[in-house]
Amino acid sequence: MEGLQRRVVVSKYRKSVIRNCIIGVEKLLGVGQGSEKVSQLPNEKEAVYGALDKWTAWETEFPVIAAAKALKILRKKGQWIRVIQVAKWMLSKGQGATMGTYDTLLLAFDKDQRVDEAESLWNMIIHAHMRSVSKRLFARMIAIYDHHNMKDKIIEVFADMEELRVKPDEDTVRRVASAFRKLGHEEKRKLVIKRYGLKWKYIHFNGERARVRRSMGRR
């Protein structure tokens, strides 16, 4: 009974520490309710890094959960420059190197028109985690290249995807097929669709874009 009570106390303490860390980082970044920091922290990397370093100086362990929570809030609010700064800061400390962090950072690079940085990060991910890169990350990078009309790059990423036997989702298949079509490789486009299939297509109806199921006999 005494051991159980001790575990309950420790659990409550850990939850309290995590909650306080999250509140602290939200206030620091200006994303928590009632916070006035949003107008006080400039967008310069040095200012944000300095503030984050000062905050973590009081922690005995790196507050990964709190920092990840802050990233999630910043992403939801569309504060892409801050997302980039916080994610880079975490990675510079050797923390948060997860597929989720990479996905958020790639998305932020895309939103902030930083294709070169997205590509550098992607190359690092491929070299460091080749056998464990998720379908989601492949889809993210192909979407980035698609948004910036980089057709050859789409095909390169897709080739890596096939080599690692990662099955693409339907949006990725559509983007790859479109890239092949724009590059004039009609046979390759048909082969991709035949191999992976497309259950849906998009049409415009009454001025709106709608998704409808494809006929099984047509591609």
**Whole-number pLDDT of residue 69:** 83
pLDDT for 42 beyond 60: yes
Q: In this structure, which topology does domain 113-219 adopt according to CATH?
A: 1.25.40
pLDDT for 39 beyond 90: no
List, for residues 166-212, the tens digit of each pLDDT value.
Answer: 999 999 999 999 999 999 999 999 999 999 987 655 555 566 656 55
Give the residue range(s) of CATH 1.25.40.10 domains in the chain: 113-219
Q: CA angle, corner 74, sides to 68 and 79, nearest 5?
A: 145
pLDDT for 36 beyond 80: no
Q: Which of 7-16, 58-67, 171-180 has the lowest mean pLDDT?
A: 7-16
Q: Residue 10's pLDDT band (boundaries 50, 70, 90)?
A: very low
**Whole-number pLDDT of residue 124:** 95
Among 1-10, 17-26, 95-104, name the most confident range. Answer: 95-104
